[in-house]
Amino acid sequence: MPLSETVIRQTKAESKAIKLFDGRGLFLIIKPNGARGWRFKYRIDGREKLLSFGVYPDVPLKLARDRREAARQQLASGIDPGTKRKAEKVAQGNTFEAIAREWLALQEPKLAPATFAKATWTLETLIFPGLGRRPIAKIAAPDLLAVLRKIEVRGTYETAHRAKQRCGQVFRYAIATGRRPRHHRRPTRCAGPRGDDEPCRRHRSRPRR
């Protein structure tokens, strides 16, 4: 029998974890300490798996059912909802801002306080608004160039050059830690302030003889 909000609220925690089943793989687990969490049980490729849908009451019954139906639609299309969620989390963690902040944390003990503060300001104020939420593996030279051009129009060419240098350090760190493929050319090699945004050497057209 499907669950109701009344049944959920009236069920008390016991000495052992208990499960309240709603059907179609969805159930609410109530732990001895009173914590309540939604779980979705499913099978794919002959294996049984569990997926968390959040805690109750932050995630009410209706929302938990909506998430169950979305997961079942993914399964019907041959997609493992658990694997998909993990991939999305990895992608979120591989944004330019996330990796840049990792890099900044490693540089803080090495840099003078003023230098570290300037590097942080450069990235937070000038770069993150344009590139911060982008997956670092997807950022190309034109993307970086557009951000640098916005700095240039203020007449601060030296600042644009420093920003490019900091971005280059972040891209190298991303490559070293496996978040950006090594075969991807760093955008900073092909984009820069004051006209050095000409094509990379390997892409330049050869002069006619």
User: pLDDT (tens digit, 9 = 90+) per residue, 79-109?
Assistant: 999 998 987 887 778 999 999 999 999 999 8
* Confidence band, pLDDT 50/70/90 cuts, at residue 184: low
Residue 195 clears pLDDT 90, i.e. is over it:
no
* Confidence band, pLDDT 50/70/90 cuts, at residue 198: very low
| Element holding 37 (H helix, E strand) | strand 36-44
* Phi, psi at 198, each rounded to 5°: -65, 160
Beta bridge partners of 54: 38
- Sign for the CA dihedral angle at 123, 133, 60, 1 comes to negative
Q: Judge if 105 and 31 occupy the same domain.
A: no
**Type of residue numbered 206:** R
pLDDT value for 185: 55
Q: Judge if 59 and 32 occupy the same domain.
A: yes
Q: Judge if 108 and 189 occupy the same domain.
A: yes
Beta bridge partners of 91: none
In the predicted model, what is the mean pLDDT of residues 6-17? 96
Q: Judge if 103 and 172 occupy the same domain.
A: yes
Q: Judge if 101 and 191 occupy the same domain.
A: yes
Give the domain extent around 68: 5-78
pLDDT value for 81: 95
Question: How far apart, in whole angstroms, are the C-alpha atoms of residue 164 and residue 101?
Answer: 16
Q: Judge if 16 and 99 occupy the same domain.
A: no
Residue 143 within any structural domain of the chain: yes
Residue 22 within any structural domain of the chain: yes
Q: Judge if 121 and 58 occupy the same domain.
A: no
pLDDT value for 207: 41
Q: Judge if 31 and 64 occupy the same domain.
A: yes
Instruction: Return contacts of 116-122, CB within 8 angstroms, 24+ apart.
Output: 118/162, 119/166, 122/159, 122/162, 122/163, 122/166
* Confidence band, pLDDT 50/70/90 cuts, at residue 186: low
Q: Judge if 44 and 141 occupy the same domain.
A: no
Whether pTM > 0.85 for this model: the answer is no
pLDDT value for 188: 57
pLDDT value for 205: 36
Residues, the chain: 209
| Element holding 43 (H helix, E strand) | strand 36-44
Residue 119 within any structural domain of the chain: yes
CATH number at residue 112: 1.10.150.130
Total domains present in the chain: 2
In the predicted model, what is the mean pLDDT of residues 50-76? 97
Q: What does the mean pLDDT of the chain come to?
A: 87
Please, are residues 136 and 180 in contact by the beta-carbon 8 Å criterion? Answer: yes
